[in-house]
Amino acid sequence: MNGKRKVLLVATLDSKEIETAFIRERLEENDLEVYLLDASIRLTIEGGAHIGPDQIAAAAGTTMPEIRALNHEGKCMALMIQGAITCAHELDDRAGFSGIIAAGGSGGTTLGAAVMRTFPFGLPKVLISTMASGMTKPFVGTKDILMLNAVCDVAGLNTVTRRVFENGALALAGMAKGYRPLETSGKPVVAMSTLSTTDKCCNRVRAALEQAGSEVMVFHSQGTGGVAMDETVREQDVSLVIDLSLIEVGDYLAQGLYDGGPDRCKAALEKGVPTIFVPGNIDFLVDGPIEGARVRFPGRRYHIHNASVTAVRADADDFKRLAEHMAGLIREAKGPVAFFVPLLGFSAHDSEQGHLHDPSLPPVFAEHLKKVIPEGVPVIVLPYHINDEQFADALIEQARVFAGTAAPPA
């Protein structure tokens, strides 16, 4: 035991040998022990790698000649990723990593990110990538991956790439040296979703629950936040879910920008975690720049949030479709569920001071939800706006009921 922190360097030496050697040297200069995983496909570079292509192929149940014979980069990469993940975790079991780093273009980014996403939250992960200034969601997903824009291609060493590679190595070194495995607080965990347009409600509920002794994890429901919340519910001991923002469900049904996918909201229901649903932010759908939003959602009302994001007013059909979808999910619930509906508006946009207010629509959602919700699931309709203190207080009281600290109302 030399006492050095151990990190994993994911690379493809057949195309990035020089760049990998440079990053490895910078890591070692900063007193890290580097384990190299080489997932090269085209040819095997002998020496230097703790895990080479042949081991990775074997872990995927095949051989390198068989992989190369596929003559299809996507299929080859899929097998190498499968094997690399297995090998990386086996090596972690033996060595105990304090961080992971990778560098590459679209292929190296896909490989490195796939490996990183299988490691736990909190373990430092640095991905130097030509894709970092583009659409990063497919690579980062719901994980805490730090992406660093390569600026130049990851192709040789020059004034720019030396600095970027060194900065990435220094970032990992700093994090790895301070890394400590995640420790739980020992408090009951409450998972909560929100957007800035429901923050007043969220903040009041969070403060009350924290004062009562819970740890509250708030997730930003912009397409991956709610998905991350669902993953947390699956992986951790969560005592209560308050799904205050269902925009990811609305955008899934309408193919909006904040689409949370078909499994959004299922985790707590399948696991039996007590859940409070609120139709926060379903009054609008999210699209990109206004020009495209007008084409995709013609004849609606629009609010330009910024140059890249447009809020599009949801209509009665959107509300009914979402109510039916939620009722279908709740029908499979294994634990207690309550659904709270604020009749005076579902977000800051849907208020007298907002840009998309329509007081006729919340009652449409409430009435349709009552018709389709499974029998025995309470729908509590209140004459407040979602950001009114009285509405937040009603959620707090329901949280106490689910926690067993108060008797249900008569």
249-267 pLDDT, tens digit per residue, is 999 999 999 999 999 999 9
- Which residue did the predictor score with more confidence, 73 or 313? 313
Q: Average pLDDT over the chain, rounded to whole?
A: 94
Q: Given this model, what pLDDT does residue 20 score?
A: 96
CATH number at residue 51: 3.40.50.12020
Q: Could you tell me the residue range of the domain that residue 44 belongs to? A: 5-178
42-57 pLDDT, tens digit per residue, is 988 887 799 999 999 9
The answer to the question of residue 71 being in a domain is yes
Local confidence band at 405 (pLDDT 50, 70, 90 cut-offs): very low
Looking at the fold, whether 239 and 99 belong to one and the same domain comes out as no
The answer to the question of residue 409 being in a domain is no
The answer to the question of residue 364 being in a domain is yes
Count structural domains, the chain.
2
Q: Given this model, what pLDDT does residue 224 score?
A: 93
Q: What is the mean pLDDT of residues 211-228?
A: 95
- Which residue did the predictor score with more confidence, 245 or 134? 245
User: Given 125, 149, 178, which residue is the final one in a domain?
Assistant: 178
Q: Given this model, what pLDDT does residue 406 score?
A: 41
Strand 309-313 with 302-306, pairing: antiparallel
Q: Given this model, what pLDDT does residue 48 score?
A: 78
The answer to the question of residue 408 being in a domain is no
User: Given 118, 150, 178, which residue is the final one in a domain?
Assistant: 178
Looking at the fold, whether 265 and 238 belong to one and the same domain comes out as yes
Looking at the fold, whether 230 and 370 belong to one and the same domain comes out as yes
User: Given 129, 149, 178, which residue is the final one in a domain?
Assistant: 178
Looking at the fold, whether 217 and 171 belong to one and the same domain comes out as no
Q: What is the mean pLDDT of residues 105-127?
A: 96
| pTM reported for the whole predicted model | 0.85
Looking at the fold, whether 252 and 387 belong to one and the same domain comes out as yes
Local confidence band at 297 (pLDDT 50, 70, 90 cut-offs): very high
Local confidence band at 408 (pLDDT 50, 70, 90 cut-offs): very low
322-379 pLDDT, tens digit per residue, is 999 999 999 999 999 999 999 999 999 999 999 999 999 999 999 999 999 999 999 9
Looking at the fold, whether 77 and 11 belong to one and the same domain comes out as yes
Looking at the fold, whether 22 and 101 belong to one and the same domain comes out as yes
Q: What is the mean pLDDT of residues 389-401?
A: 97
